């Protein structure tokens, strides 16, 4: 398991060993030059400059750089390689563990103000940006969470309203005083979550929707959030075998429409960009697609091959326009040898007809394993004006990431595609272990993608323009879902734990991690728009001051170099 | 006869109820005030603070000397006021009050420890609003459990500084929790993105 925050695919141990050798030679300039090298990052530079500033030797070559950033260098805020470990997850165990010093309290801890402790260790600085709990209003415990496709809205099912003052439903709940213990226990066992907290991130606004009165029998069965648009939030209500999708108005807190999916529903997918809700009807082996705007319904027979059953299909992904669909076959269902199918939902010309299906076998694609998860993304590039490309990323059981470009599938018949041209490999990771509960998320504005699986225990952040690994973040808990929000500057994570229905939501400040992982020379004034908001979030962190000073210094040097 | 120097208010606590009493009843009245009527540790602290009042000490010394002269008090009463204060606190105050005096600093530490537990519970995802949340806890004291607004008290505990919290615990209003830093962050971020 990767325990440390890492940038790129290469470990830092090499550069740290070289720096240590230079330190023993008392070569301050050499250390700084090494820390400025392309394989270094800003964390390393900060650590080196701080140690040089505190040390007896003054650098000659990099004197200007040291002088510029010196006021922001603080031993207490250095985030060293050791300090970049994951925060502890077992805070609860610590609470209930017997403490030795409890009967003899230490008097130097008298009247310590909350959050203003005298000691500030390195990992605590990093904790201001990595897995921040309680950043969102309410208590940040959610049963289910979703974000809008463009990352400006966030919604989660919870028990605590966004405001501290009790709202109408909470007041009503508090008024029910239960006389006996038996009744109280009975009430504890029933699901009492009845709020959807909605957070608009641009401009910031937060409010709560009350499910009581809006959704009939909301506390029976289970509720799950499927997606959130500008005006509606979509909830999946499962009661026994029957499934219903409710659309709840964001501003009026009213049930606007409901789609009854019937009993035999298999995998389902909501595409808000394509305004389509699609699901597999296991009884008739068809893919049913319904338009969210017109409620028009279309069915496509799945033409299943021998040995393949509708109940084996475990995941659907729809392209943003709603014209192509990818259906994954569960890797556990091996009889048919089929790994996935492609289905065309909208036809183009004579070559590509709507309803065309093709199932792909493992053998023809030269694959050993099936796929656990699939995610669709639009490739974005700000520098090259290329036609927008839609890509399916597939997370394999063998921990490899593969991609299919939808662009190529659009205008040709699916039957005409050569199997070996279909998939391209993004990355194979080492290790014999199979992937466990892989999760994926795609950014909406930046070319970023995040993946997580329980074996690594780390979130990997990818650049989708060239499929390179940007950073890997060790995660202290298992992750249920990942969401890019707020112009892809924040990664919202809902953790999952066995036997719990409500889990905490944490926020990771990606801008901080991406800036800190840059080569020291590439941090210029262009990055100030990323650093400034972070200073509003954590004004006391000296590391941000360091980044700002370094960016201004680099910008100045670059201007001097040009003439 | 009215005592010439009435006790001025100490830390905002009104001692005017002593005015109507004869001098010899002052000490028992103060004790009962501290122990029975306002039996929170804040108020006990105030009684002990009152012992720092020079007039009160002189008064107590006078009574002690009289008692010594009458033979009801066997030990020797110190003449120096500072020495008398130490002697008074050690000898005259009942054992449990003396322990309280020492515990007063321990209680402050306990409050700080309590906050640490609360913050850790908060970080661990403890939901103060779920049913029976407080009865299931073992470490938080009954004071929070039986508070009229337990979830609010818990949130206040986690987010407020000690001083504001003690105001709130004594029945004061819930102070503003301050601006949301996430909102500040998003405002700046959104401004740059436009």
Where do the domains of chain A lie? 6-88+520-561, 144-259, 264-435
Contacts of A507 in chain B (CB under 8 A): 182
Phi, psi (degrees; rounded to nearest 5) at A339: -100, -40
Which of A138-147, A188-197, A420-429 is predicted with the least confidence, judged by mean pLDDT? A188-197
User: What does the longest C-alpha to C-alpha distance in chain B come to?
Assistant: 88
- A492: pLDDT confidence band, cut at 50, 70 and 90? very high
Measured between CA atoms, the residue of chain B closest to residue A204 is B183
Q: Is the dihedral of CA B29, B31, B36, B42 positive or negative?
A: positive
- Provide the shortest C-alpha distance from residue B56 to chain A (in Å): 29
> Tokens 């209680």 map to which residue?
B107
Are A113 and B161 an interchain contact pair (Cβ–Cβ within 8 Å)? Answer: yes
Please judge whether B185 and A502 are an interchain contact, meaning their C-beta atoms are less than 8 angstroms apart: no
Comparing alpha-carbon positions, the chain A residue that sits nearest to B159 is A114
Q: Which DSSP helix (H) or strand (E) runs through B192?
A: helix B181-193
pLDDT at A316: 92
The verdict on B62 and B119 lying in the same domain is no
Tokens of A61: 């070559």
Q: How far is B25 from chain A (nearest CA, A)?
A: 36
Tell me what the mean pLDDT of segment A184-205 comes to: 67
Assigned token pair, B70: 């009458």
Which of the four pLDDT bands, split at 50, 70 and 90, describes residue A69? Answer: very high
Helices (H) and strands (E) in chain A — how many of each? 13, 30
For A305-331, how does the pLDDT look when each residue is reduced to its tens digit (9 = 90+)? 888 888 889 899 998 888 889 999 998
Give pLDDT, residue A248.
Answer: 92
Does residue B62 carry a pLDDT above 70?
Answer: yes
| Domain assignment of residue B79, yes or no | yes
Given this model, what pLDDT does residue A509 score? Answer: 94
Of B155, B181, B192, the CB nearest to A164: B155
Q: Å from B46 to nearest chain A CA? A: 18
Q: Is residue B10 part of a domain?
A: no
Contact flag A489-B155 (C-beta cutoff 8 Å): no
Q: Is the pLDDT of residue A175 over 50?
A: no
**B119 shares a domain with B87:** no
More confident residue, A281 or A81: A281
pLDDT computed for residue A544 by the predictor: 93
pLDDT attached to residue A119: 32
Closest in A109, A113, A537 to B109, CB measured = A109
Q: Please tell me the predicted confidence (pLDDT) of residue A100.
A: 35
Task: Output phi, psi for B78, to 5 deg.
Answer: -65, 145
- A44/B25: higher pLDDT: A44
* pLDDT given at position A86: 57
Categorize the per-residue pLDDT at A500 as very low, low, confident or very high, splitting at 50, 70 and 90.
confident
Residue A95 to residue B121, Cβ atoms within 8 A: yes
- Does residue B4 lie within any of the structural domains? no
Radius of gyration of chain A (CA): 26
- Does B176 reach chain A within 8 Å, measured CB to CB? no
Chosen domain end from B84, B100, B116: B100
B126 and B68 within one domain: no
Whether pLDDT at B40 is above 60? no
Name the minimum distance, in Å, from the CA of B66 to any CA of chain A.
Answer: 39
* A94, A136, A187 member nearest B120 (Cβ): A94
**pLDDT score, position A221:** 84
Paired tokens of A462: 């990818």
Highest mean pLDDT among A38-42, A118-122, A126-130: A38-42
Per DSSP, what are the bridge partners of residue A278? A269, A289
Residue with the bigger pLDDT between A72 and A114: it is A72
Of residues A420 and A129, more confidence is placed in A129
pLDDT tens readout for residues B139-177: 555 555 555 556 666 666 666 666 666 565 555 565 555
Q: Could you tell me if A201 lies within 8 Å of chain B, comparing CB atoms?
A: yes
Determine the Cα–Cα distance for residues A281 and A362; give it in Å rounded to an integer. Answer: 24
- Which range of A357-371, B130-144, B156-170 scores highest in mean pLDDT? It is A357-371
* B7 belongs to a structural domain: no
Q: Is B129 on the interface with A (CB under 8 A)?
A: yes
* Dihedral angle computed from the Cα positions of residues A308, A311, A317 and A321, in that order, rounded to the nearest 10 degrees: 90
Q: Do residues B64 and B112 both lie within one domain?
A: no
* Mean pLDDT, residues B114-139: 63
Mean pLDDT across chain A: 80
What average pLDDT does range B78-88 have in this prediction?
Answer: 79
Q: Is the pLDDT at B98 greater than 90, yes or no?
A: no
Query: Both B113 and B96 in a single domain?
Result: no
Contact A106 B181 (CB under 8 A): no
Q: B2 lies in a domain?
A: no
Determine the structural domain holding residue B84 and report its residue range. Answer: 16-100
pLDDT at A4: 77
- What is the bridge-based pairing of β-strands A424-427 and A389-396? unpaired
Both B82 and B116 in a single domain? no
Max avg pLDDT among A66-70, A125-129, A430-434, B15-19: A66-70
Considering the domain architecture, whether residues B117 and B87 belong to the same structural domain is answered as no
In chain A, which among 95-134 make CB contacts under 8 A with chain B? 95-96, 102, 105-107, 109-114, 133-134
Q: Output B123 or B11, whichever has higher pLDDT.
A: B123
| Whole-number pLDDT of residue A68 | 93
Q: Given this model, what pLDDT does residue B83 score?
A: 83
Could you tell me how many CB contacts below 8 A there are between chain A and chain B? Answer: 125
pLDDT band at A109 (very low <50, low <70, confident <90, very high): very low
pLDDT at A128 over 50: yes
pLDDT(B35) > 50: no
Domain count, chain B: 2
Both B158 and B86 in one domain: the answer is no
Residues within 8 A of B (CB atoms), A 399-418 only: none
**Tens of pLDDT, residues A393-436:** 888 888 788 888 887 787 788 888 888 888 887 766 666 677 77
Task: Note the pLDDT of residue A373.
Answer: 87
Taking phi over 0 as left and psi of -120 to 50 as alpha, with beta for the rest, A213 belongs to left
Q: Measured between CB atoms, which of B120, B131, B185 is closest to A533?
A: B185
**Cα separation, A554 vs A550, whole angstroms:** 6
On whether any CB of chain B is under 8 Å from the CB of A175, the answer is no
Q: How many CA atoms lie within 13 A of B65 on its CB side?
A: 11
| pLDDT on residue A387 | 54
Q: Is the pLDDT of residue B133 over 80?
A: no
Residues of chain B positioned with their CB less than 8 A from the CB of A535? 188
What's residue B120's pLDDT? 66
* Residue A228, pLDDT score: 93
Q: How far does B40 lie from chain A, in Å, by closest CA?
A: 18
Shared-domain flag, residues B118 and B64:
no
Looking at residue B12, the DSSP 8-state letter turns out to be: T
Chain B CB contacts of A503 under 8 Å are: 125
Does residue B48 carry a pLDDT above 90? no
B173 part of contact set with chain A, CB < 8 Å: no
Label residue A165 by pLDDT band (50, 70, 90): very low
Tens-place pLDDT, residues A237-261: 998 888 999 999 998 888 988 998 8
Position B23 scores a pLDDT of 60
Residue pair A159/A196 in contact by the 8 Å Cβ criterion: no
The pLDDT score that the predictor gives to residue B150 is 60
Contact B127 A504 (CB under 8 A): no
Q: How does residue A80 score in pLDDT terms, banded at 50, 70 and 90? A: confident
Least confident of A6-20, A86-100, A166-180, A218-232: A86-100
- Search chain B and give the residue with CA nearest A92: B124
Distance CA A236, CA A223 (A): 6
Contacts of A499 (CB under 8 A, 6+ apart): none
**H/E stretch holding A123:** helix A122-127
CA distance A51 to chain B (A): 31
DSSP labels, A165-180: S--HHHHHHHH----S
pLDDT in tens, A422-471: 888 776 666 667 777 888 888 888 888 898 888 778 899 988 877 788 88
The predicted structure's pLDDT at residue A264: 83
Which residue in A513, A520, A518, A510 sits closest to A483, CA to CA?
A510
Strands (DSSP E) found in A191-312: 195-201, 204-210, 222-228, 232-239, 242-249, 255-262, 265-271, 276-281, 286-291, 297-301
Q: How far is B148 from chain A (nearest CA, A)?
A: 11
Q: Rg of chain B's alpha carbons, rounded to an integer?
A: 23
Is residue B8 included in any domain, yes or no? Answer: no
The percent helix, strand, coil of chain A (3-state, each to 5) is 25, 35, 40
Examine the domain organization and report whether B85 and B112 are in the same domain.
no
Domain stops at, among B100, B118, B144? B100
List the 476-535 stretch of A: residues with Cβ below 8 A of B.
486-487, 489, 502-504, 507, 529, 532-535
Q: Which residues of B touch A105 (CB under 8 A)?
A: 106, 109-110, 113
Q: Which of A550, A553, A555, A556 is nearest to A46 (CA)?
A: A550
- Which residues 88-127 of B are in CB contact (within 8 Å) with A? 105-106, 108-110, 112-113, 115, 117, 119-127
- Rounded to the nearest angstrom, the minimum Cα separation between A188 and chain B is 6
Higher pLDDT, B58 or A35: A35
- In our burial notation (b when 16+ CB lie closer than 10 A, e otherwise), range B150-167 reads bbbbbbbbbbbebebbee
Average pLDDT over residues B33-46: 46
Model pLDDT, residue A502 = 78
Q: Tell me the ipTM for this assembly.
A: 0.80
Interface check A186 vs B, CB under 8 A: no
The share of chain A scoring above pLDDT 70, in percent, equals: 84
Cross-chain Cβ contact B139/A96 below 8 Å: yes
**In this structure, what are the phi and psi dihedrals at residue A47, rounded to the nearest 5 degrees?**
-65, -45
- B22 and B74 in one domain? yes
Burial of A342 (0-12, 13-18, 19+ CB in 10 A): buried
Query: Is residue B9 assigned to a domain?
Result: no
Mean pLDDT for the stretch of residues B87-104: 58
Provide the shortest C-alpha distance from residue B126 to chain A (in Å). 8
pLDDT of residue A191: 44
Q: Quick one: what percent of chain A has pLDDT higher than 90?
A: 26
Does B158 lie at the interface with A, CB-CB under 8 angstroms? yes
Output the six-digit token pair for A297: 């319904």
């Amino acid at each position: 398991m990767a325990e440390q925050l890492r940038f790129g695919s290469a470990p830092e141990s090499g550069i740290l060993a070289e720096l240590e050798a230079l330190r023993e030679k008392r070569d301050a300039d050499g250390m700084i030059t090494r820390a400025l090298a392309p394989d270094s990052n800003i964390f390393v530079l900060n650590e080196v400059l701080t140690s040089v500033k505190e040390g007896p030797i003054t650098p000659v070559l990099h004197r200007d750089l040291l002088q510029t950033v010196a006021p922001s260098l603080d031993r207490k805020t250095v985030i060293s390689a050791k300090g970049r470990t994951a925060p502890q997850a077992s805070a609860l165990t610590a609470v209930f563990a017997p403490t030795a010093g409890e009967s003899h309290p230490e008097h130097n801890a008298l009247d310590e103000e909350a959050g203003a402790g005298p000691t500030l260790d390195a990992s605590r600085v990093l904790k201001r940006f990595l897995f921040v709990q309680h950043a969102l209003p309410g208590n940040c415990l959610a049963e289910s969470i979703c974000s809008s496709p463009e990352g400006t809205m966030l919604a989660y099912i919870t028990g605590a309203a966004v405001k501290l003052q009790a709202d109408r439903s909470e007041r009503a709940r508090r008024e029910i005083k239960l006389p006996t213990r038996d009744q109280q226990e009975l009430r504890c066992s029933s699901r009492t979550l009845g709020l959807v907290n909605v957070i608009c991130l641009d401009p910031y606004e937060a409010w709560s929707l009350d499910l009581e009165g809006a959704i009939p029998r909301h506390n029976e069965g289970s509720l799950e959030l499927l997606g959130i648009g500008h005006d509606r939030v979509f909830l999946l209500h499962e009661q026994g075998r029957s499934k219903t999708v409710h659309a709840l108005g964001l501003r009026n807190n009213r049930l606007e429409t409901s789609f009854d999916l019937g009993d035999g529903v298999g995998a389902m997918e909501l595409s808000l960009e394509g305004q389509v809700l699609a699901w597999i009807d296991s009884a008739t082996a068809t893919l049913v697609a319904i338009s969210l705007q017109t409620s028009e319904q279309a069915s496509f027979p799945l033409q299943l091959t021998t040995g393949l059953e509708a109940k084996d299909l475990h995941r659907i992904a729809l392209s943003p326009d709603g014209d192509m669909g990818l259906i994954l076959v569960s890797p556990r269902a091996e009889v048919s040898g089929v790994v996935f199918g492609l289905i065309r939902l909208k036809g183009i010309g004579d070559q590509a007809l709507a309803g065309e299906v093709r199932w792909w076998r493992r053998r023809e694609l030269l694959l050993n394993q099936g796929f656990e998860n699939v995610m669709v993304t639009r490739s974005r590039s700000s520098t090259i004006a290329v036609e927008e490309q839609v890509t399916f990323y597939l997370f394999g059981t063998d921990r490899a990431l593969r991609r299919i470009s939808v662009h190529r599938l659009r205008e040709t018949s699916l039957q005409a595609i050569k199997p070996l041209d279909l998939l391209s490999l993004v990355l194979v990771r080492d290790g014999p272990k199979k992937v466990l509960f892989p999760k994926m998320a795609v950014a909406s504005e930046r070319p970023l993608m995040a993946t997580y699986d329980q074996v690594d225990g780390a979130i990997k952040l990818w650049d989708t323009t060239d499929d390179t690994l940007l950073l890997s973040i060790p995660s202290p808990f298992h992750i249920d879902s990942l969401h890019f929000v707020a112009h892809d500057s924040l990664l919202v994570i809902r953790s999952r734990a066995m036997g719990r229905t409500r889990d905490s939501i944490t926020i990771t400040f990606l801008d901080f991690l991406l800036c800190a992982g840059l080569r020291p020379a590439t941090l210029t004034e262009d990055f100030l728009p990323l650093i400034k908001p972070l200073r509003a979030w954590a004004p006391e962190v000296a590391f941000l001051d360091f980044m700002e000073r370094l960016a201004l210094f680099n910008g100045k040097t670059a201007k001097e170099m040009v003439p | 006869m009215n005592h010439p120097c009435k006790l001025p208010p100490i830390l905002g606590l009104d001692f005017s109820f002593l005015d109507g009493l004869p001098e010899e009843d002052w000490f028992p009245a103060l004790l009962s005030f501290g122990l029975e009527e306002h039996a929170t540790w804040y108020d006990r602290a105030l009684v002990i603070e009152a012992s720092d009042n020079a007039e009160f000490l002189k008064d107590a010394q006078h009574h002690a000397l009289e008692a010594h002269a009458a033979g009801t008090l066997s030990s020797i009463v110190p003449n120096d006021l500072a020495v008398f204060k130490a002697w008074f606190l050690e000898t005259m105050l009942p054992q449990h009050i003396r322990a309280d005096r020492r515990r007063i600093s321990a209680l402050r530490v306990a409050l700080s420890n309590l906050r640490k537990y609360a913050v850790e519970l908060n970080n661990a995802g403890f939901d103060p609003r779920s049913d029976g949340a407080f009865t299931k806890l073992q470490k938080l004291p009954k004071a929070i459990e039986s508070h009229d607004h337990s979830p609010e008290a818990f949130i206040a505990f986690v987010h407020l500084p000690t001083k504001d919290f003690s105001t709130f615990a004594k029945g004061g209003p819930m102070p503003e929790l301050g601006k949301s830093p996430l909102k500040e962050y998003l405002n700046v971020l959104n401004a740059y993105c436009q």
